[in-house]
Amino acid sequence: METNYLRTFMAVLDAGSMSEAARRLDLTAAAVAQQMRVLEREFGVPLLRRSGRTVTPTEGGHRLAGRASALLAELAGMRATVGNVDGVLELTVGATNTMLNGPLPVVLDALAQEHPAARIVVRMGLSAELYAEVLAGRLDAALCLHPDFTLPKSLNWLLLREEPLVVLAPHAWAHRDPHALLREEALIRYDRRLGGGQAAERYLRRAGIVPRERFEISSLAAIAALVGRGTGVSIAPDVATGWSSAPPVARLPLPRPAESRRFGMVWLRNSPRTRAIEVLVDHARRVVAQGHG
């Protein structure tokens, strides 16, 4: 039996629908449905009761969920034990580009000072990808954006930083109304594939602003550089304090309530590497408390 199918089954139960589980795991809904059919053939009984787009476990599904949770935890523990014969603090950590270029190097340096034999593998990815990897047990922890849904009870979350949306403008335009700038000047849009770009798009729609789009870029540093040259304005998360150096632009608060981009760390509550993860969490807390986050 493919143990990843059991992980998918648990994700479906937690999400309450196959489509939502597919989104969280970065799979297609068809792939999730196929995995569930394979499991039902394997066990010879229906596991899910479907009602429209929602699903609930059958009696057999309830029994499988209880055993699957324990089995997956035991398998994860076996992998950790077999792969760490010398007892060295060892972790595989995911991080977004923002975290890699922000607090993570400071956290890893502090950890290495106290645990010189530690072995940490870092993998970069988008927040949705990293979340799915943690949920599947392929990452021990991830530094990423908080997902736009309620985290399942199987995960822990540590908030490291909140970044509100602001309007970025050349200093010469700092006296102008932020909404007028977004309507009248060329917009250098933050990539809508990213959480901050999606939040900016939602704000523009709520405010009824149809911008004059010029560029769409995934790098906030590049956006700040273009704004500083007078190429246009942008609406993006405020990364001018904390771990990032201040961009050479004016940062104007928005007139209406806006979403904040929330960065933090996510990890499995019952991870077999809980001790090592707690060390990483402790150093992340210290870095933030010292003003690096």
**Of 45, 3, 10, 262, the residue nearest 154 (C-alpha):** 10
What is the rounded CA–CA span in Å between residue 39 and residue 94? 29
Q: Based on the domain organization, do 35 and 79 belong to the same domain? A: yes
Looking at 58, 83, 108, the residue that finishes a domain is 83
Q: In terms of domains, do 157 and 94 share one? A: yes
For residues 66 and 207, state if they share a domain.
no
Q: Domain of 147: which CATH number?
A: 3.40.190.10
Give the chain as a DSSP string. Answer: --HHHHHHHHHHHHHSSHHHHHHHHT--HHHHHHHHHHHHHHHTS--EEEETTEEEE-HHHHHHHHHHHHHHHHHHHHHHHHH-TT---EEEEEE-HHHHTTTHHHHHHHHHHH-TT-EEEEEE--HHHHHHHHHTTS-SEEEEEPPSSPPPTTEEEEEEEEEEEEEEE-GGGTTS-HHHHHHHSEEEEE-TTSHHHHHHHHHHHHTT---EEEEEES-HHHHHHHHHTTS-BEEEE--SSTTSPPPSSEEEEPSS---EEEEEEEEETT-TTHHHHHHHHHHHHHHHHTT--
Residue 77: the pLDDT is 57
The pLDDT, as a whole number, for residue 211 is: 95
pLDDT at 287: 84
Decide which of 36, 67, 83 is a domain's last residue.
83
Give the separation between CA 251 and CA 91, rounded to whole angstroms: 38
Nearest to 240 by CA among 171, 156, 185: 171
Core vs surface per residue 111-121: b (16+ CB within 10 A) or e: beeebeebebe
Total structural domains in the chain? Answer: 3
Residues of the chain with pLDDT below 50 are: 84-85, 241-245
The verdict on 147 and 12 lying in the same domain is no
Bridge partners (DSSP) of residue 54 are: 51
Clarify whether residues 137 and 281 are in a common domain.
yes
Query: What pLDDT, on the 0 to 100 scale, is given for residue 269?
Result: 87
- Residue 69: per-residue pLDDT: 72
> Are 150 and 278 in the same domain?
yes
Report how far apart, in Å, the C-alpha atoms of 185 and of each of 82, 131, 232 are.
Answer: 59, 37, 6
- Does residue 281 share a domain with residue 153? yes
Q: What is the tens place of the pLDDT at every residue in 9-48?
A: 888 888 888 988 888 887 888 999 999 999 998 889 999 9
Same domain membership, residue 246 and residue 169: yes
199 & 243 share domain? yes
The pLDDT of residue 243 is 41
What are the pLDDT digits (tens) for 150-179? 888 888 999 988 889 999 999 999 999 999
Domain that holds residue 96: 90-161+262-289
* Residue finishing a domain among 83, 109, 127: 83
Q: Are both 204 and 239 inside the same structural domain?
A: yes
Same domain, 42 and 106: no
Same domain, 236 and 110: no
The CATH number that applies at residue 69 is 1.10.10.10
